[in-house]
């Protein structure tokens, strides 16, 4: 493991459950990011949560005391926009289940978001993490899918981590309801674990897969993506996954750690040649 850690030049960091939980920044985050800078390691924040635009995310991070640039952030919304542009260029009119912030990002990219009306046929249905979701709009999305419209999801997450006494139903669970209602699966689900989320970072920074560590709290998004992309798969136990669940994962993960602070210690020790 020492040799693998010595090859790391960049760290991809999940946000919710890894860097913070809900509105609470982990105490380990600021020292960890400073250590990465001290070690000369770059880092990029990756998130499957499309409910905020890049601008809103950067403001959110600043509010938590984390300065970041647009180049240090990649979201499932950006991945979905790029996918639609490349693979479905005729899709422009969308009936979307998503927040206003997500909608603004799609509109800025040239898409048209349609109202809830049977007289406004979309080219496709788009489903994101929608904490503004209403039952009529859910029914309209199902109706358009039943009319044969293709549909896409920004991310597969079933729940969103939170520090509040509630369960935040995420995009994957909304998709499960639509799939049950229509007997039709989404044409594509973007975001993690799609390795395209990682490949963009590799290309941007001229990295080989073994130069990158993917750090996250979820097995079925963060870790599967890391393994598919051939990067170091580092699970932290500060979010959704328990130690027992992590130990049962197949294939085995590279590292299962209590938090990002322990990863920082290991990266420092690898630089010092102190661990094997």
Give the full edge-to-edge strand order of the sheet including 212-216: 73-75, 42-47, 10-14, 212-216, 232-236, 255-257
The CATH number of the domain where 267 resides is what?
Answer: 3.40.50.1000
211 in the same domain as 185:
no
Neighbours of 160 (CB within 10 A): 21
Asked if the bond preceding 10 is cis, omega within 30° of 0, the reply is no
Contact present, 127 and 171 (Cβ < 8 Å): yes
16 DSSP assignment: B
pLDDT in tens, 162-179: 778 999 999 999 999 999
- Whether 18 is in a domain gets the answer yes
- Whether 126 is in a domain gets the answer yes
Confidence of residue 61 (pLDDT cuts 50, 70, 90): very high
Which of residues 189, 214, 242 is at a domain's end? 189
- Whether 68 is in a domain gets the answer no
Which of residues 162, 189, 216 is at a domain's end? 189
pLDDT in tens, 5-51: 999 999 999 998 999 988 899 999 999 999 999 999 999 999 888 99
- Whether 56 is in a domain gets the answer no
How far is residue 133's CA from residue 177's CA, in Å, rounded to a whole number? 13
Query: For residue 155, is pLDDT > 90?
Result: yes
Contacts of 242 (CB under 8 A, 6+ apart): none
Contact present, 2 and 276 (Cβ < 8 Å): yes
177 in the same domain as 87:
yes
Tell me the catalytic residues. 14, 16
Contact present, 83 and 197 (Cβ < 8 Å): no
146 in the same domain as 87:
yes
Which of residues 156, 189, 222 is at a domain's end? 189
Number of domains, the chain: 2
Strand 168-169 relative to strand 159-160, pairing: antiparallel
183 in the same domain as 112:
yes
24 in the same domain as 119:
no
Range of the domain at 243: 2-48+198-272
């Amino acid at each position: 493991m020492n040799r693998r850690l010595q090859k790391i030049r960049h760290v991809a960091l999940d946000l919710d459950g890894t860097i913070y939980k809900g509105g609470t920044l982990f105490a380990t985050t600021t020292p960890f990011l400073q250590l990465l800078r001290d070690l000369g390691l770059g880092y990029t924040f990756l998130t499957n949560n499309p409910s905020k635009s890049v601008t809103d995310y950067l403001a959110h991070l600043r509010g938590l005391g984390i300065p970041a640039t647009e180049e240090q952030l990649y979201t499932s919304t950006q991945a979905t926009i790029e996918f639609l542009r490349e693979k479905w260029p005729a899709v422009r009119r969308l009936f979307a289940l998503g927040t206003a912030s997500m909608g603004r990002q799609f509109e800025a990219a040239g898409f048209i978001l349609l109202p809830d009306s049977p007289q406004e046929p979309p080219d496709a249905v788009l489903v994101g993490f929608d904490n503004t979701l209403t039952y009529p709009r859910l029914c309209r999305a199902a109706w358009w899918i039943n009319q044969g419209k293709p549909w896409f999801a920004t991310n597969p997450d079933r729940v969103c981590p939170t520090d509040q006494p509630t369960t935040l139903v995420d995009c994957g669970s909304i998709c499960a309801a639509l799939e049950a209602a229509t007997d039709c699966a989404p044409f594509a689900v973007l975001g993690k674990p799609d390795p395209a989320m990682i490949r963009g970072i590799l290309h941007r920074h001229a990295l080989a897969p073994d130069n990158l560590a993917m750090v996250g709290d979820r097995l079925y998004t963060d870790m599967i993506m890391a393994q598919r992309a051939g990067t170091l798969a580092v699970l932290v136990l500060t979010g959704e996954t328990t130690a027992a669940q992590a130990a049962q994962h197949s294939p085995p993960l590279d590292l299962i750690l209590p938090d990002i602070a322990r990863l920082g210690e290991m990266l420092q020790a690898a630089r010092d040649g102190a661990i094997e």
